[in-house]
Amino acid sequence: DAGVIQSPRHEVTEMGQEVTLRCKPISGHDYLFWYRQTMMRGLELLIYFNNNVPIDDSGMPEDRFSAKMPNASFSTLKIQPSEPRDSAVYFCASSLNRGRKPGANVLTFGAGSRLTVL
Amino acid sequence: GESVGLHLPTLSVQEGDNSIINCAYSNSASDYFIWYKQESGKGPQFIIDIRSNMDKRQGQRVTVLLNKTVKHLSLQIAATQPGDSAVYFCAEAGGSQGNLIFGKGTKLSVKP
């Protein structure tokens, strides 16, 4: 398996533009997580899915952020409109639930998408 | 509240020495802990994990110690190598949904 695949690796956009980040989890994994990483706040959980269903989106900053998982092999995180404070590295991670709490399984992270909003 | 923090933001060690990275957690109900390593430009990579029914677990050159009495976690790296230079994160499964909560990380620099 190629691991968790994220695209784009780098995105530079102007304030007000729509940004779409993409993720392909590891085949067979039933949990998918979106994290945001900044120097100030570290790694923050934005939202996670179980079997393609959003379970907890309490970490999504505001209505400008939305995430979807139309099938088991694809998820998107969309920011519309983007703002300079959204600049960060966005990570997607997936895991296979072994009958424990969602966080109590090893997460495999993608390489991240570095977003810069000017 | 629920939080995971690190005592030392940076750690510099000599190649060949042992490294110890510390982590404090606040949720006594957390029952699973994990260490990740993040190299520059990459995503976090799993190193080792431990469940709350254990106080020590060993891997290849790494050992995780868990002290539930003082809510403290540590990662020990034996014979530190230049390739160990990275930021190390501890995380606990202690959120209301059992999600992983990450600390802010410790940067480990290995001097040749």
A28-67 tens-digit pLDDT? 999 999 999 998 888 999 999 999 999 989 999 889 999 9
Q: What average pLDDT does range A74-79 have in this prediction? A: 98
Q: Give pLDDT, residue A104.
A: 72
Q: What average pLDDT does range A3-20 have in this prediction? A: 97
Q: Which of B25, B66, B62, B31 is nearest to B47 (CA)?
A: B62
Contact flag A102-B97 (C-beta cutoff 8 Å): yes
Compute the mean pLDDT over every residue in chain A, rounded to the nearest whole number: 93
By Cβ distance, the residue of B95, B103, B104 closest to A103 is B95
**With contacts defined as CB-CB under 8 Å, which chain B residues touch A56?**
97, 99
Q: Give pLDDT, residue A105.
A: 81
Query: Which DSSP state fits B46?
Result: E
Give B38-84 pLDDT, tens digit per residue. Answer: 999 999 999 999 999 999 999 999 999 999 999 999 999 999 999 99
**With contacts defined as CB-CB under 8 Å, which chain B residues touch A107?**
44, 46, 100
Antiparallel, parallel or unpaired: β A5-7 and A19-24 = antiparallel
Q: CA A75 from chain center: how many Å? A: 8
The number of beta carbons lying within 10 Å of the beta carbon of residue A107 is 26
Residue B5 has pLDDT above 80, yes or no: no
Positions of E strands within B7-44: 10-14, 19-25, 32-38
Residue A13 has pLDDT above 70, yes or no: yes
The number of C-beta contacts closer than 8 angstroms across A and B is: 65
Element (H, E) at B102: strand B100-102
Q: What average pLDDT does range B22-32 have in this prediction? A: 89
Question: What whole-number distance in Å separates Cα of residue B29 and Cα of residue B82?
Answer: 36
Q: What average pLDDT does range A89-115 have in this prediction? A: 88
Q: Give pLDDT, residue B3.
A: 44
pLDDT band at B4 (very low <50, low <70, confident <90, very high): low
Among chain A residues, CA nearest to B35: A106
Q: Give pLDDT, residue B101.
A: 87
By Cβ distance, the residue of B32, B98, B102 closest to A43 is B102
Q: Which of A84-93, B1-10, B42-51, B96-105 has the lowest mean pLDDT?
A: B1-10
**With contacts defined as CB-CB under 8 Å, which chain A residues touch B99?**
33, 45, 48, 56, 101-103
Question: What whole-number distance in Å separates Cα of residue A113 and Cα of residue A3?
Answer: 15
Residue B94 has pLDDT above 90, yes or no: no
Contact flag A108-B97 (C-beta cutoff 8 Å): no
Among chain A residues, CA nearest to B40: A111
Å from A117 to nearest chain B CA? 18
